[in-house]
Amino acid sequence: MDSSAFSLTAHAKVNLALHVTGQRDDGYHLIESLVAFTDFGDQISAELSDENSFDIYGPFAKVLNSDQSNNLIIKARDALVEFAKDKGLPTAPVSIRCEKNLPVASGLGGGSADAAAALNILIKLWALDISDDDLAKIALNLGADVPMCLKSQPLVATGIGEDIKLVTPFPQSNIVLVNPMVEVSTPVVFKALQTKQNAPLSSSMKIEGFDQLICLIEQNRNDLQIPAISHCSEISDCLDALLQTNPACARMSGSGASCFALYENKTDALNAKKMIADNHPDWFVQSTHLLGRE
């Protein structure tokens, strides 16, 4: 039996802009979102084993260890096993580990990124012959954010998140992530959104450099920011803390409560991280960079 082990970073997902443009009859919201991924994230690894096992460790493992059955990594594994079984393909037991570095329910796509990384790892580990279309269907069944996390590249997501167009070029940018350690329920935030029919993203997604990226972000918005703040006032505290560091821009990501700020150089980002971490030692604060695309 091949005992090779594979490991991937489950890159944090940042909604640089998020427009809610409608709602389907089944309740799913239609979105248009400019999405980028950070170098920082959870770490997923897997290797063949005598029996299936799953271990979560790291700074934010405790909250997930209490109910592993609902973890998207396990659901991703089981979905691939079912696919392989239907195709008559073998799958051996695997030992999967997750180093949980991202806060839970934070608006950074941690669970979806974990599932996407698990899918990519297990496909390699089992040498599964699976088409892009079949993989996309499995990913979407796991969650609306999982297909974009499979890409982990700058993109625009539309529909419920499954229609993806990669953005090229895209500058690698310095970013600071902040979370007040308060979980925010995405359904609650969407329910608090007063208008479901909002204007789409601005049409041009040509991003030649940092200044153009900032301009594009400022031309657009996060429709969930106001309803999220109405549910979680700590989001305003995070934004205020970021703005005090003089970033190029600052905004909430996804449905919250995580916020981000972009900086033109790494030194400014590191100084901002230190300032916020010193003033708010109970918060999650991380300096990293957005993954670029030439």
Q: Say if CB 222 and CB 18 are below 8 A apart.
A: yes
- Architecture of the 5-166 domain: 2-Layer Sandwich (3.30)
The model's confidence at residue 66, banded by pLDDT at 50, 70 and 90, is: low
Q: What share of the chain is helix, strand, coil (3-state, %, to 5)?
A: 35, 30, 35
Mark whether 13 is an active-site residue. Answer: yes
**pLDDT digit string, tens, across residues 91-135:** 999 999 999 999 988 999 999 999 999 999 999 999 999 999 999
Decide if 263 contacts 250 (C-beta within 8 A).
no
Selected catalytic residue, list 114, 145, 223, 268: 145
Domain at 174-289: CATH code: 3.30.70.890
Strands of the sheet containing 284-289, edge to edge, are 249-252, 259-263, 174-179, 284-289
* pLDDT tens per residue across span 72-89: 999 999 999 999 999 999
Both tokens assigned to 177: 């992530």
Domain residue limits, the chain? 5-166, 174-289
pLDDT value of position 46: 98
Flag whether pLDDT at 1 surpasses 60. no
What is the pTM (predicted TM-score) of this model? 0.95
Mean pLDDT of 258-283: 98
Q: Exposed (0-12), middle (13-18) or buried (19+): which is 74, by Cβ within 10 Å?
A: middle
pLDDT at site 205: 87
- How does DSSP classify residue 74? H
| Catalytic residue (one of 13, 75, 100, 273) | 13
